[in-house]
Structure 1
Amino acid sequence: MPESEHPVPALRPRPRLPRTAVAVAAAAAVVATAGAYATRWGPFGPDRLAVDPAAVAEAKAFLADWAGGRAESAGARTTSPDEARTALRNFTAGLDIAEPDLTAGAASAAEDGTVTLAFATRMPVTGLGTWSYDSRIPVRRQEDGAWKVAWDLSLIHPRLSGTEKFRLQREDAGSSPVTDRSGKPLAADASPSLKPVLAQIAQRAGAGPRGAIERIDRASGEVTGTEARFGKEGAAAGQSIPSTLDSRWQAAADQALAAKAGGKDAALVALRIDNGEILAVANSPAAGFNRALSGTYAPGSTWKIVTTGALLLGGAVKPGDIVDCPKYLTVGKQFHNVETSEFPGATFTKNFTESCNTGFISLRGKVGDAELGEVAGKYFGIGQKWDVGLPTFDGSVPAPRDQTEKAASMIGQGRVLGNPLTMASVAATAVSGTFHQPTVTPDAEDRTTTTALPGEVVTQLRALMRATVTDGTARGLAGLPGGIGAKTGTAEVSESAPNNGWVVATRGNVAVAVVVEGGITGGSSAVPVVRHLLEAVPQDPA
């Protein structure tokens, strides 16, 4: 407890001590200081020993080495380097633990000079889940004055010892195949992006992998306790698990990224416009992070669909109004158009189809500072909590902190964030007028609350997106049947990194969104992916 939180007692005359008593008390204080680098505060402060920061630093360095997989370095920080290295390696490898997450807590000092640092662990057990527990690291000063971790097996886990150890026991949950919308089993070998998706769907249904961390006697091998259980009882073995995915769209999505993303990190989502059901989720690379659903990207100019919705809802602009599009516009910082293009005397429609940043930014005074976020949430569901059936990031549109940030948010930069899932949904809402929460499992629950866009606004958004294909930056989709509408985007990442390329597109009852990291422009990198997809699947899903 901080010193200020302790009340100071009323002062009283203190009796004088004999000289011998004073000498003994002084000697005791010196011993305490030398042994623990600490002294008690006495009657006017907490009865607590101070902690040497160097000891805490050594304990935290040990944690960092352990978490980073540097067993050699971690062991060298202990009083038993060889034993520590072996134990740390065996613990993580034997229990299939990847990249431990270790968080330092409070430190305390003892009378004998030992400094103890509490820490919390999150141990990700491959394919099962996370094992969390708390432990402590004792640190002692050595003869040479250096601090070392006082090695003991119990610092890895309080119940790990010379007589007991841990064992990972995996259970066979049986085969519970996930099926597509027509009841056809989905296979990850046909669509590589599906591997993590299918595992998550199965786990949600209770048919995912199960297992336990057991504590066993080192001598007899008998189980003495269970430290953690993973998975849950659910779908019976062999029972199919339905999803909204479509085998044709999923396979075509994976193939489109492989053929047209140029080997760059990229992601794609396709969904039904009338009900939000997800038809395909594709990522490149297929393994690892699910960029399509959980990525946090600046959506760039695809966000101008929402900005346009806000302007049209407020009557701030009409498609035929003149909105000048200069090369540059300064609002705290200089903004420019892609390749510093300009369109003097352009209509608002031209600003939309050619994705004019400066023209859109010039209209920032016609919307309130928090209005973009309000429109995004009220009409497009962005920023509300979605229950899709898989882990997702559902977009974020914080109110701008100044006019420069407001200018950036008009064009999908600044702190505006989304991903292919949110932007496919934005496109679907724009052309239908109604937000439908995206879903991938039938049991997903919609807790969102939105308002339908006025019919006139929907008609204007459709026309603007169609014109972007016939006469604008998405002309790479021209010539395909189905009255395709689209909006491209170029999103700045940093001054040194290449821009991300974006596109959202709608055809019939399907909305698609693609991001290509480092794709430079949406027209050159993301549009070819969508064209490849739509050519491969010329018909809407049933």
Structure 2
Amino acid sequence: MRARARRVLAVAATMAVAGTTLTGCFEEPSAHEAVRDFLVGWQSGDYDLAAGRTDGDPAVVRKALHDARVHLDAASFRFHIRSLTENGGESIADFDAEVDLGENNSLWEYTSRLPLHLVDGVWKVRWSPSVIHPQLKEGQRFAVDPKPEVRRPVLDRTGEPLQADTTLYVAGVTPATLGDNAEKVGEQLAALTGFAQDRLLSRIRSAPPRTFVPLVTFGWRKYASLKSKLDDIPGVTIDEQKQPVAPAPPEQIVGRVSALTAESEQELGGPQRAGDSVGLSGLQKAYQDHLTGSTQTSVITLDLKTGEQVAELKKWPGRPNAPVETTIDSSIQAASETALAGTRSAVMVAVKASTGEVLAVSASDNVKEDKALAGKYPAGNAFSIIAAEALLRKGVKPSQRLACPAERTVGGARFEQTGLTAGGTQSFQSSFARSCVTALAALARRVSGDDLDKSAADLGIGKPWKLPLNSFSGKVGDLDSDADKAKAIAGQNVEVSPLAMALVAGAVASGTWHPPLLVTKPPTPDPAAEVLPTTPPAPVALDAKVLPVLRAMMRSGVRSGTAGAAAAGGEPVHGIAAPVTGKSKNQAWFVGWQGDVAVAVLAENADPAAYAGRFFAAVRDPA
């Protein structure tokens, strides 16, 4: 509606220019004046002016010009004279017409001509319907015939839809059955739905009379609440349509779909029509135009007596729609749902370690799934994976002995060990596996800030990648001092998303960090999407000498460390369970992998390794 209003205002602004131009060109009384007045009157809606310049019955001419606008549901007409020739008492004016059909359709452009002759010394347009368009004859009218496409689905990696069909209830009319009630129907539907009455009425009047015209679409609940009132509107019928709009897990990633409402029509200001479906969130919103395409539209002429099509004057094929193909693996998604069933506050992301493809995203009922992609959480001791990569590159041995006191101060920053019995000494590998923050923080002096920054970048933290949905690659704070570096090792000045940490696990598992991938087709979302992906950064191969050692340390996290609950049958599970120390002591991470499936779990007041174990077991033995 807003887009249409802008076009009408623009046309109004150009009217004065058009009128001045036409007037300035013709200084002497001639056929020029008749052409000018007729076209300016038609263009501006001053049908009396236009009719007065013809030799036809003024009432007939006025109605014909008015009906042409109504039957085309035209936002505006504009005309440009190509040539004018006179031969005695006869004249011919050739002109170009531009008709804005509204609804964000293309302009309909055609060339026509005005035959003129002298009537009692005054130039008059010889009236016939062909003045409006060369192919419009007596006993005919224009009509606009739209053919919308049914919304296409969002698919998983195997091509199966990630939503189920839902019945939508489309209220519409067949104009020929309304008689003189069209205006009343438009008024009653407008009052019931909030759609503008004039838009509903023009939709009815511009349609082929024997064609069902969809006007408003309802979901089940809305339809049930309005059914009795809809039944009371004469001529309105309900067409039940199955459309793929009920999202399957991951529901918030796939996104919700709604019927177009009066409010959303005004907000979108795009090619949607009353009766269309609109993506409200997730991929359904990001790929709205791709999933719906654009309506095929034809301008036709109809026989007034039979209602049959006589000719097709112009056809816009519209933009074809297509499914959105994702990397989601429905069986792995089901495993993640099983793992978090009944949990209070947890999120999980699983990726394909060798490619970075997002396989599953899930969350507890009270947590939004998009937090798994875009949440900004303290990294906690999970950042020790990245720190360990830097420390191993700097020559720190897994066997190096480290004290694990209850408290330690590094460069003025104080750290406390929680969840384990402190005291004694243990190896670097054991401190890593058991997530002893006071031991690991002591190694801050063994690496530079640049060393930690490089490892973070190599493992994707802070990399400039974006998914078609909101996402967060992480951020590392300043690393100017030993205190800063110690805080980073403990993850206290580092923010990450679960997706970013799943990619870290995948990088260690495969040997190469890969940017995340969620949608394989189309390569980019709609231009109007809130988030537009950047060109993904290149994969990064990790240090081949460090990898075997780091993998062994990750394996020890499950075999002898705090991540023992993640153990599952089948291939070995690698990973660490890492608390978030500092202000968020009730949160903890599991970051690890089994086979080619890497996962990150963030849980509150619970053991994330247990959730990971349930996940890996469900992947191995799906229900």
TM over 0.5, yes or no?
yes
Alignment of 1:343-422 (within 5 A): 343-377=423-457, 379-400=458-479, 402-413=481-492, 415-422=493-500
State the partner residue of 1:487.
576
From 128, 153, 156, the equivalent of 1:177 is 153
Does 1:503 pair with 2:590?
A: yes
CA distance in 1, matches of 2:497, 2:333: 18
CA distance in 2, matches of 1:268, 1:232: 27
- Answer whether contact 2:465 2:515 (CA < 8 A) is retained: yes
Between Structure 1 and Structure 2, which shows a larger proportion of strand residues? 2
CA distance in 2, matches of 1:230, 1:464: 40
CA distance in 2, matches of 1:507, 1:231: 33
Residues 394-435 of structure 1 deviation map (CA, whole Å, 9 limit, x = unaligned)? 11112235433321111111x201121000000111122211
CA change 1:304–1:440 in 2 (3 A) is: same
Q: Tell me the SS of whatever aligns to 1:505.
A: strand
- Answer whether contact 2:413 2:487 (CA < 8 A) is retained: no
State the partner residue of 1:513.
600
- Answer whether contact 2:286 2:468 (CA < 8 A) is retained: no
Does 1:535 pair with 2:511?
A: no
Alignment of 1:52-63 (within 5 A): none
CA distance in 2, matches of 1:190, 1:527: 32
Q: Tell me the SS of whatever aligns to 2:542.
A: coil
**1:492 offset after TM fit, Å?**
3.1
CA distance in 2, matches of 1:186, 1:231: 14
From 339, 357, 363, the equivalent of 1:277 is 357
CA change 1:534–1:359 in 2 (3 A) is: same
- Answer whether contact 1:293 1:391 (CA < 8 A) is retained: yes
State the partner residue of 1:457.
546
From 234, 242, 251, the equivalent of 1:195 is 251
**1:193 offset after TM fit, Å?**
4.9
CA change 1:322–1:190 in 2 (3 A) is: farther
CA distance in 2, matches of 1:195, 1:273: 23
Does 1:253 pair with 2:336?
A: yes
State the partner residue of 1:466.
555
State the partner residue of 2:162.
186
- Answer whether contact 1:493 1:499 (CA < 8 A) is retained: no
From 220, 234, 256, the equivalent of 2:290 is 234
- Answer whether contact 1:389 1:439 (CA < 8 A) is retained: no
Alignment of 1:426-441 (within 5 A): 426-441=504-519
CA change 1:357–1:184 in 2 (3 A) is: same
CA distance in 2, matches of 1:493, 1:382: 21
Q: Sequence identity, in percent?
A: 31
Which amino acid is 1:534 matched to?
A: F
State the partner residue of 2:193.
none
CA change 1:511–1:231 in 2 (3 A) is: closer
Does 1:311 pair with 2:391?
A: yes
Between stretches 284-293 and 524-533, larger displacement belongs to 284-293
TM superposition score normalised by structure 2: 0.50
**1:539 offset after TM fit, Å?**
7.2
Q: Tell me the SS of whatever aligns to 1:346.
A: strand
Q: Larger radius of gyration, structure 1 or 2?
A: 2
Alignment of 1:90-129 (within 5 A): none
RMSD between aligned alpha carbons?
Answer: 3.1
Residues 315-335 of structure 1 deviation map (CA, whole Å, 9 limit, x = unaligned)? 2x1111222222211132431
CA change 1:180–1:230 in 2 (3 A) is: closer
**1:475 offset after TM fit, Å?**
1.0
Residues 442-484 of structure 1 deviation map (CA, whole Å, 9 limit, x = unaligned)? 1266531454112221101111111111111111123522111
From 252, 266, 278, the equivalent of 1:212 is 266
- Answer whether contact 1:353 1:464 (CA < 8 A) is retained: yes
Which amino acid is 1:418 matched to?
A: V
From 390, 396, 403, the equivalent of 1:324 is 403
CA change 1:450–1:248 in 2 (3 A) is: closer
Q: Tell me the SS of whatever aligns to 2:400.
A: coil
The unaligned stretches of length 5 or more in structure 1 are 1-171, 204-208, 216-228
CA distance in 1, matches of 2:519, 2:255: 13
Q: Tell me the SS of whatever aligns to 1:183.
A: coil
**1:347 offset after TM fit, Å?**
1.1
**1:210 offset after TM fit, Å?**
7.4
